[in-house]
Amino acid sequence: MKIADSSVLITGGAQRIGAVLVRTFAAAGARVIIHCSHSLASARELLEEIGGENAGHAVICCDLAHPENIPAMFNDVPRDVSILVNNASTFNRQDIIHENLSVSKEQFDLNFWTPVEMMRTFYQHSIPPELSVVNLLDQAIVRPSADSFSYSLSKKALAEATRCAALQYAPRMRVNGLAPGPVFPPRGLEHLKMEKTLKTLPLGRPVNVQDLADACVMLAGNSSMTGSVMFVDCGQSLL
């Protein structure tokens, strides 16, 4: 699949990893739809940075914490979109003892049910003969994470959904997963600079966010890959 001249929808594309994904796909020649939930100002600023509507880019807003909003959101998505990047997620680090049902449900809704519903609706809505999905996962899918109970389980579930979807939607739609390690500190913990975590990594440093974005573009465009999960984690999944 050619990235140049394709249309790509990136959820959670206004900030952090999502914004780098947007810039990277745009630099590769794609027309990018930047999805945001609550960061409209950042999304509009990024839209202008990559060339604006005159270059074929756009912004759409939808609260994906409620998966039932997704079918209506696609009314604003052009039907020629051929690539979907499910990047939007939420992270609330709590263990099973202290986590309540509300927190658990919030994480499963956005981290699992939303990308699943996005894939379903994308497949039905888009008309190109070849479609591609990249689901952002987490290196924690291969090991227990007791201090992040529902977050890690929601990402594990999405990894399995990625493999199931790759089978169910073949041959028209390919579905792959991208599992990053530590890229940026979690929101609210920037002051810690991930120093404790980085000391344990085989490469001893954070993931370069551009490396992650380049891997996403490769997965989206590689027409021989489906059902694969690529780790870009500085070796954290080896521990």
pLDDT tens digits, 44-83: 999 999 999 999 999 999 999 999 999 999 999 999 999 9
Q: Is the pLDDT of residue 143 over 90?
A: no
Residue 189 confidence (pLDDT): 62
Q: What is the pLDDT of residue 190?
A: 63
| The pLDDT of residue 105 is above 90 | yes
Q: What value does the mean pLDDT of the chain take?
A: 95
Strand order in the sheet with 83-86: 58-61, 31-36, 7-10, 83-86, 131-136, 173-180, 229-232
150 pLDDT band (50/70/90 cuts)?
very high
Query: In this predicted structure, what is the pLDDT of residue 191?
Result: 59
Q: With pLDDT > 90 as the criterion, what percentage of the chain qualifies?
A: 90
Q: Three-class SS string for 72-140?
A: HHHHHCCCCCCEEEECCCCCCCCCCCCCCHHHHHHHHHHHHHHHHHHHHHHHHHCCCCCEEEEEECCHH
User: Residue range 172-177: average pLDDT?
Assistant: 98
pLDDT at position 209: 98
- pLDDT for the residue numbered 13: 98
Predicted TM-score (pTM) of this structure: 0.96
pLDDT of residue 213: 98
Q: From the DSSP assignment, how many helices (H) and strands (E) are in the chain?
A: 8, 7
Q: What is the largest distance, in Å, between two alpha-carbon atoms of the chain?
A: 51
Residue 159 in this model has a pLDDT that exceeds 90: yes
pLDDT digits (tens, 9 = 90+) for 181-236: 999 987 766 655 688 889 999 999 999 999 999 999 999 999 999 999 999 999 99
Superfamily of domain 7-226: NAD(P)-binding Rossmann-like Domain (3.40.50.720)
Task: Tell me if 53 sits within 8 A of 32, measured CB to CB.
Answer: no
pLDDT of residue 62: 97
Strand-pair partners of 84: 9, 133
Domain boundaries of the chain, sorted by first residue: 7-226
